[in-house]
Amino acid sequence: MRAFVAIDLDEDIRIELTRLQNILRSSDSDVKWVEPSNIHITLKFLGNINSIQLEKAKESMSVIAKGFKPFGLSLSKIGAFPKLDFPRVIWIGIDKGREELISLNHRIEEVFEKSNFRTTVHKEGRSYEPHLTIGRVRSGRNKDVLKKVIMEHDFSIKAIMDANKITLYQSTLTSDGPIYTVLSETK
């Protein structure tokens, strides 16, 4: 099964993200927008794991939960990877809670490594940057219009939430988009 560890979003933030995506859609660019119900903050992508790895992941999540303290989250600016002139991924950054997410990512990496959790996904060479992926650019159609919409709008998102649990998800890829199933939650 394909799995990842993430922080889920509350409904107020999902409503704000839907509003933002609707503004971006006005560019008529070729973007596959992530369903708001599927938007989350990925802490660690595990890739394809087997039942033994799943049990190790759940054990690691229990260890992480013991030191986990809830914290506030708010969103910041909109951006694109690798850059706005040549966007492949449209994202929203994290303002409040950014440092806590980075620390949590390091803790997850450390605990999973100590548990000898093995996966085919290797730790990325770049440092972890907390963000929400809201769309994936499929082609260059109207990319200049998309860039203009991003640069001309104030995409301030007022909603603030408490990050009070970490979730281990299974991701099942379908032609209609991914389906996420909760495998484990830690509070």
Which helix (H) or strand (E) segment is 80 a member of? strand 71-83
* Backbone torsions φ then ψ of 142, nearest 5 degrees: 60, 25
Residues in a beta bridge with 75: 94
Q: Which CATH number characterizes residue 93's domain?
A: 3.90.1140.10
Q: Report d(CA 56, CA 62) in Å as an integer.
A: 10
Active site residue 122: no
The total of other beta-carbon atoms located within 10 Å of residue 136's CB is 15
| Number of domains, the chain | 1
Do 169 and 20 form a contact (C-beta atoms < 8 A)? no
What integer pLDDT is reported at residue 148 of this predicted model?
93
Q: Which stretches of the chain drop beneath a pLDDT of 70?
A: 118-126
The structure tokens listed for 165 are 């649990």
Please indicate whether residue 153 is annotated as part of the active site: no
The pLDDT value recorded for residue 175 is 87
Q: What pLDDT score was predicted for residue 176?
A: 84
Contact 92, 39 (CB under 8 A): no
Virtual torsion, Cα 14, 25, 43, 67, nearest 10 deg: -20
SS3 9: coil
pTM: 0.90
To the nearest 10°, report the CA torsion of 54, 136, 10, 168. 0
Candidate list 106, 122, 131, 153, residue with the active-site label: 131
- Give residue 174's domain range: 2-186
| Short-list 9, 110, 1, 102, CA closest to 46 | 1
What pLDDT, on a 0 to 100 scale, did the predictor assign at position 153? 79
Q: Which residues contact 76 (CB under 8 A, 6 or more apart)?
A: 92, 93, 94, 95
| Confidence (pLDDT) at 41 | 97
